Amino acid sequence: DRFAEAATQHARTTLAHHFREDASSVHVVEFDEATGARLARKTWQGVSDASAWSRGQAWALYGYTMAYRASGEADFLAQAQRVAELVLNHPRRPGDGVPYWDYDAPAIPDAPRAASAAAVIAAALVELAGLAPDDRDRYLAEADLILAALAQDYLVADDLDEPFLLDHSVGSVPGGFEVDVPLTYADTYYVEALLRRQRLADDRPALGSR
């Protein structure tokens, strides 16, 4: 119970401080350790402090979906759905649903894609479909679009001597590392999305549910 309350309060604090009016999220919020006052909002791995770094938006969608599943707090479900609308309707979202590394990347449409963000989004949408029945079919259709794109165009090449499934992820463009490469967490959420989707198709309990 103590851990559950700490996690729930963390989600409430994040909801209050990380999000802009359009439901996009900043990456880092700095607080005064003594007073708890918010000092600054920054995005270290995105284009700028004002941009929508795609993996950050994916974490927001995933995080509030999971927070609602665990807590039942209606505000968390509402936030997950707000972020879902942002990522699904963003004017710079590519047709295959696999986002650029930042929705405000200056080189779009030639900016690197972020397969890891796509995998997180897909895993979240499949879970959210089971929590928001009115939007179930739409969320599943969008997840299926992403999963199909990842399977068709983002798998590692046969001659790549690395133990990965997905290629074309981005760690940090500003930091100059892990750009257009396979990443472990991309595979983690890709497999999770596939497992969740299969369980839903088989009408089995959702992954991680009680």
Written as one string, the DSSP assignment of 21-72 is TTS-B-SEEEE-TTT--EEEEE-SSSSSTTS-BHHHHHHHHHHHHHHHHHH-
Query: What pTM was estimated for this model as a whole?
Result: 0.93
By CB atoms closer than 10 A (0-12, 13-18, 19+), residue 33 is: exposed
Whether 207 shows a pLDDT value over 70: the answer reads no
> 7-46: per-residue pLDDT in tens?
999 999 999 999 999 999 999 999 999 999 999 999 999 9
